[in-house]
Amino acid sequence: MNPTLSWPTGGVPQVLLSGYFPLKDKGFRTIYQIQAVAMHLYDYAGTVRMDGRPIELRSGDLTLTPVGMATTYDLPAAGRHWCVHVLPATIGTPLRLPLHIRLGSDATIARERLARITAYQRRGRGRHEALASSTAAGAAVLELVAWLADRLPDGPQQRGGRAVERAASLLREDPARGWRVPHLARTVGVSPAYLARRFRQRYGSTLARFQLAQRIGSAQALLACTELSVGEIGRRIGLPDAHHFNKLFRRVAGVPPTAFRAEHRA
């Protein structure tokens, strides 16, 4: 039986390290033992021992190493892997994830998500931008964990997971749309109460707060990369009232839109 990792779904995890790193270990000589959950997506074949248990790796396999578990490698040739070290939050209903997952053709999706986490984690410069980037990286990890759980056979914890993931995708794809919970629930095929409860379990956030985070994230990108006025940006993300937009932006980002734009460009 493949051992599992318990991952709480409430709160935003903290990303400590992320990137695409080389590895050329042979003979299980180097022991890795870190005080964080290690997520690895391999672009090579070889053998990893996790707590002494050997696992044959193929390109496209993913492993999740619990906090403090010892791992060693024996590789026939040097290769590279995506790596994220993360401290999960300690609240919320836990998901049970296998320590070894063969992704097959889905590895491309996982690579894209891991690259996004790395880009978020490395993007912050000023204090407020660093905080926003850290939060975005943690949220992206939680989305990846939810996606991995949805690939598993349905069980009591996973039932309805695809509906929750679809709802999150709709909110991300069109943050300006004024989604209401009943309409969103009908769209993904579950009841409003079920969607609200499972969404909060999965993402540690209400649907409304999640939608607001997507809107402010879009506003941050427009502020940093365009010359659009603050009012126009508010209209584009579905918050046409300038006073209300400024108030919500400051609540989420910690600074007004004008200060965010000035700090980013400075």
Classify the phi-psi angles of 130: left when phi > 0, otherwise alpha if psi is within -120 to 50, otherwise beta: alpha
How many CA within 13 A on the CB side of residue 35? 0
Q: pLDDT by residue (tens digit) across 11-23? A: 789 999 999 999 9
Does domain 4-122 match CATH 2.60.120.280?
yes
Q: Which one-letter DSSP state was computed for residue 55?
A: E
Average pLDDT value for residue range 21-37: 95
- Tell me what percent of the residues of the chain surpass a pLDDT of 90: 43
Backbone φ and ψ for 219, nearest 5 degrees, come out as -65, -40
Q: pLDDT by residue (tens digit) across 97-155? A: 999 999 887 888 889 889 989 988 887 655 666 677 788 888 889 889 888 887 776 54
The predicted structure's pLDDT at residue 125: 58
Average pLDDT value for residue range 49-71: 95
Q: Which amino acid is at 35?
A: Q
Q: Which of 193, 110, 170, 171 is nearest to 144 (CA)?
A: 110
pTM score: 0.59
> What residue ranges do the domains of the chain occupy?
4-122, 161-265
The predicted structure's pLDDT at residue 229: 92
Supply the CATH classification number for the domain 161-265: 1.10.10.60
Strand partners, 17: 85
Asked whether residue 157 carries a pLDDT value surpassing 70, the answer given is no
Average pLDDT value for residue range 3-14: 85
The predicted structure's pLDDT at residue 266: 55
Q: Which of 152, 158, 110, 118 is nearest to 136 (CA)?
A: 118
Question: What is the token pair recorded at 80?
Answer: 């590279």
Average pLDDT value for residue range 62-84: 96
Helix ranges restricted to H, the chain? 107-123, 127-150, 161-173, 181-188, 192-203, 207-225, 230-236, 242-253, 257-265
